[in-house]
Amino acid sequence: MIEGRKVVVSAAARLHLGFLDLNGGLGRRFGSIGIAIDGPVTRLSLARAARGKARGPDSERAAAHLAALARRFKAEHEYELTIEEAMPVHAGLGSGTTLALAVAAAFRRLEGMRENRREDIRTLSRGERSGIGIAVFRNGGFVVDGGRGPDTTEPPIVTRLPFPTNWRILLLQDASVRGIHGDRERAAFSALALFDEVEADRICRMVLMQLLPGLVEKRIVPFGEAVRSIQERLGDYFAPMQGGRRFASSTVEAALEALGREGAHGIGQSSWGPTGFAFAESLEDAQRLKGTLRRNGLARHLDISIRRGLNRGARIEYREADTSAAREGELSSTA
């Protein structure tokens, strides 16, 4: 730790595009597909202080993470934790995991500790089902994880690919709806019927033989067809927990249906929503699609943004306590 400095961490959102295998007949369950995107972001700073203080949006949850880390490592200092920017909570963007890992990264850097994500996810109870948020926090990109086995601590990353720089993602956010989370989410997974093994086989085949090759070859049509088909299968499965619908927000659903008719690719919902997404081959096409929604009156009550895939992980920087000078650096890999 360097006295007189604070640590600033900036990390962006992720989209969870679906699960590979909710059947679990091979001994592993879940397995996730996801991508880092360039916003919304969570940005926070941490410094030692004479008296503990936490402020800013979502600061109560962040302070709880900091307290858990301080207890775990028997820290004897007080801290000033400032949430400068926070992504929407329970919107399907991975805000909880991102915030927890950002606090852990700032704490370890400030105290001169070696990074250890496995220890942090255990301490902060992250990665219960998906490893996407953990993986993209560190390295960004398009990620597939291998799910959880009986002794899994962190779902292993089986594929990490760069997302095409020319492609764009339309993000549709409905602030009036919150996705299922916490105890309700755990109860939902317990209440759902066993996922059909044939459907799990089909999803895995589409990922391996359609989605990933389309991504590598920058062919958005097969990529989008695979995402759409996976989303439809999983949407039908989770519909009983979402009022009988594939989407948590009927407003997002109507807008996505219109985007599909206009040629958008891979429409779907991230995690439990309500955030929806659609892929476009270029910025110009994304702008055209966004304009269509506005002209048709389908953008009312929605926050619609155009995003890029993010092919890097979270950023950490030291800043002098009384200046804006910074030395930036990306998170280093750990064992």
The tens digit of pLDDT for each residue in 253-286 reads: 999 999 999 999 999 999 999 999 999 999 999 9
pTM of the predicted model, to two decimals?
Answer: 0.91
CATH of the domain spanning 1-162+317-335: 3.30.230.10
Cis peptide bond prior to 274, omega within 30° of 0: yes
Q: CB 23: neighbour CB atoms within 10 A? A: 18
Q: What is the pLDDT averaged over residues 290-314?
A: 97
pLDDT over 50 at 109, yes or no: yes
Which residues on neighbouring strands pair with residue 306, listed in sequence order? 170
Query: What is d(CA 89, CA 163) in angstroms, rounded to the nearest whole number?
Result: 25
In this prediction, residue 244 carries a pLDDT of 85
pLDDT over 50 at 117, yes or no: yes
In this prediction, residue 300 carries a pLDDT of 92
Domain ranges of the chain: 1-162+317-335, 164-308
In the chain, what is the greatest distance between 2 CA atoms, to the nearest angstrom?
60
In this prediction, residue 324 carries a pLDDT of 43
pLDDT over 90 at 323, yes or no: no
Residues in contact with 112: Cβ distance below 8 Å, sequence separation at least 6, in sequence order: 1
Tell me the per-residue pLDDT of 166-219, one tens digit each, with 9 for 90 and over.
Answer: 999 999 999 999 888 878 888 888 889 999 999 999 999 999 999 999 999 999
Tell me the per-residue pLDDT of 9-30, one tens digit each, with 9 for 90 and over.
Answer: 999 999 999 999 999 999 999 9
In this prediction, residue 181 carries a pLDDT of 81
Residue that wins the pLDDT comparison between 76 and 27: 27
pLDDT over 50 at 335, yes or no: no
In this prediction, residue 268 carries a pLDDT of 98
CATH of the domain spanning 164-308: 3.30.70.890
pLDDT over 80 at 307, yes or no: yes
Name the percent of the chain lying above pLDDT 70: 94
In this prediction, residue 321 carries a pLDDT of 65
Which DSSP category does 149 fall into? -
Measured N-to-C along each axis, helices 132-139 and 117-124 cross at an angle, to the nearest 10 degrees, of 140
* Tokens encoding 209: 């033989």
In this prediction, residue 333 carries a pLDDT of 34
Name the percent of the chain lying above pLDDT 90: 80
Query: What is d(CA 306, CA 37) in angstroms, rounded to the nearest whole number?
Result: 10
Pairing of strands 78-85, 53-55: parallel
In this prediction, residue 182 carries a pLDDT of 78
* Tokens encoding 126: 């992250």
Residue that wins the pLDDT comparison between 322 and 237: 237
Q: How far is residue 202 from each of residues 132, 233, 267, 335, measured CA to CA in Å?
A: 21, 10, 19, 34
pLDDT over 60 at 327, yes or no: no
**How many CA atoms, within 13 angstroms, populate the side-chain half-sphere of residue 201?**
5
In this prediction, residue 129 carries a pLDDT of 77
Q: Is 1-162+317-335's fold the same as 164-308's?
A: no
What string of DSSP letters covers 244-257?
TSSSS-HHHHHHHH
pLDDT averaged over every residue in the chain = 92
**Given the structure tokens 């059909």, which residue do they identify?**
196
Query: What is d(CA 197, CA 201) in angstroms, rounded to the nearest whole number?
Result: 6
Q: What is the pLDDT averaged over residues 105-114?
A: 95
3-state secondary structure of 76: coil
Q: What is the pLDDT averaged over residues 292-305?
A: 96
pLDDT over 90 at 329, yes or no: no
